[in-house]
A and B are shown apart, each in its own frame.
Chain A
Amino acid sequence: MTGDAGAEAMTGAGHAQLEVRGVTKAFPGCLANDDISFRIEPGEIHALLGENGAGKSTLVKIIYGVLQADQGEVLWDGKPVTIHSPHDAREMGVGLVFQHFSLFETMTVLENIALAMNDVRDMEVLRKQVVEVEKTYGLPLDPDRHVYTLSVGERQRIEIVRCLLQNPKLLILDEPTSVLTPQEVEKLFETLRRLADEGCAILYISHKLHEVKALCQKATVLRGGKVVGGCDPREETAKSMAEMMIGQKLTAPDRGNDRTFGDVRLEVSNLSLASEEQFGTDLKDVNLTVRGGEILGVAGVAGNGQNELFQALAGETEQFAAPDNIKIDGTSVAHFGPRRRRRLGATFVPEERNGHGAIPDMSLAENGFLTAFRRMALTARGLIREVPTRSFADTIIKTFDVRTTGAAADAGSLSGGNLQKFIVGREILQDPGVLVISQPTWGVDAGAATAIHQALLDLAAKGTAVLVISQDLDEIFAICDSVVVMAEGKLSKPRPMADVSIEEIGLLMGGLHDLDGDATPANGTLSTGGRVDQA
């Protein structure tokens, strides 16, 4: 890892592995890429940074042949090339690990790999090659498992293995770590560094700037479809890179000074629940309490029971047998559906925006009405009160800086991050007593994420009990007062944020349950609801 290798190559002795010159791509109503130029040398790990909508995905699709550029050229090994299709791209030696995996759930690992290979090979030969690559790079996978039975980390391994089988000269990874545990991320980085040492160029796209800093030697920053600068991530801070991305100063969320907690507002005791999904995770004896003014984070890798927990809390799965398992402000609610829980002052923000948090084909005003009509008094004698409904939506749009054409716009027409701001705003503005929110800033860019974090902190300061279910440890460290870790349907004991390290949470996320005894911090102030082991 010579630090000067990248700098030498930059002076342009040899040919770049990939060079993009003046690429422009317009969609109806937006210029996604505007005269973009950059280059990647063999063996270089190059970061592509930018907010949502900055044009990163469009650029990747052009390099991978999914889209064709309107203007500009792509040079491969110094020679201009036209890439008509992903098939061409793979033929040249470009591998792409998709952000939203391009996998077929009902097929086996081997079939999924075969589908992404250009040259038709005998399945048995392919199986041997897969096993070989898995061994060489330490990426264990059972070729005969069906994809739907695999964890997200394992699914990503399929994507990587199928790129490696093509001996890529350029590997593109689009947000590869958003679903991995810190340990899995470290493992991935080892693989990537090794590939780079073997001369493979890597284009790495991520929101997580400290990862970019740890891994990449160069970065190109996009904003609004244009290249706004480049840097060496090793010499920048995460904050300075974020500011380059959003083009303005970034303020860390203000946690306030002395946070004081009130009474317990949300209490879950002995909650065990068989999942309704075939491949879901059963909840096993979940206990937690959230006090007024407190933000409790539930960390964990997706698929460890978070969806089931959210559904149980939101009333999507009711438990008629044990109403006392969940209490909101002291009232037993486990047998209530979502509407009766909302009537008690609880609001909920699910992870999935389109179709769960909002109805894509309905306007923002209608979507606002759907969860808020009671608390915001948007109905009168069974009729919709048009004016307050519209002004409620307008208030959300204004307060949370939702970029849209107005309250009449369809929810489905908003970008993911903007819709998320609208949904979060809709629930926060109802001034809830209890807020349960799942993945509040998933896929949301840095500026908007900061705004959502600040709104959650402000809400808690007003005495609301906030439960945040998140995979993003940075987020949990930024806003939570205490944290529990979910693994295989079980919750760890709550720990105050000040007492835990990111490594410790990572180990808990990996399923090492309750590093009890010696491993716990010596002072052992497990205050929040922690059971006393030895009285």
Chain B
Amino acid sequence: MGKITLKHVNKSFGDVAVIPDINLTIENGEFVVFVGPSGCGKSTLLRLIAGLEDVSAGQIEIDGTDATDLPPAKRGLAMVFQSYALYPHMSVRKNIAFPLKMAGMTEAEQEKKVQNAARILNLTSYLDRRPGQLSGGQRQRVAIGRAIVREPSAFLFDEPLSNLDAALRVSMRQEITELHQTLKTTMIYVTHDQVEAMTMADKIVVLNAGNIEQVGSPLDLYHHPANVFVAGFIGSPKMNLIAGAEAAKHGATTIGVRPEHIDIAAGGPWSGTVGLSEHLGSDTFLKVEVDGIGTLNVRAGGEVNLRHGDRTSLAPQAGRIHRFGADGKALA
């Protein structure tokens, strides 16, 4: 089991309300990603669920039981930290066995579980090493191993890949996703990297200034952003947001068009001059200074051969324009 429910959860540090009022349900077995810019409260929310911070008001239920006042160890959750938080004075074996030792398990049982976790995470040959003798990826696997052996009702990940290099991040991302598919345990994952969010999540929770902006599947958020913030945050490169007369033509205060939904088309409604042109082989990223609108990002095919200073015409794809009202919310 691993259903987590937050009811009117509020967290303040002094006079500052970091999380004003959050209601959220995470279903058993879901992979939920909290995403948002730095300081949006996503890590605080995770720490509230973990019990490492006390809520100022509201209730946290784990599997239908009120866990608001339970200490972290009693919540049946396991956490993987950004800095790995391994015990430097213990071997990998002892690190992984530590939660089992705290639970009063016999040494034979501990060893069996440690071996099993080490096998899943390819750590068997490193069991007698200290964390200082391991690479970043191996350390993160030890941290995950320490979480796995507890057989928690949910895993909490606090930006676990941000200390790794780009290549390792991609492979660890896949490993965590595979782990979720194997264990089928609830996972809550905090990141500011929306690519991680899009690739890993069953459900994304977009946070901004302590409030939930939108909850939905990755593609739901991509295709139907609820407001300007989500529209600008989800998707890479970012969605082009256009206000003023051009938006008014579509009956909106702001309109949004993703870079990949703008075609380079002779006779298109928007004309402009190419400012920057990045050729990646598979794609070409263009910054085009469009007359009367401003700078637009365009994602074109790899064969496009436009260069700095070239004139071009652009056309948004039909049905791909997102419309937002004066309050920033999406218009039907």
Q: Are chains A and B native binding partners rather than an unrelated pairing?
A: no
Q: Which B positions have Cβ atoms within 8 angstroms of A?
A: none
Residues of A within 8 A of B (CB): none
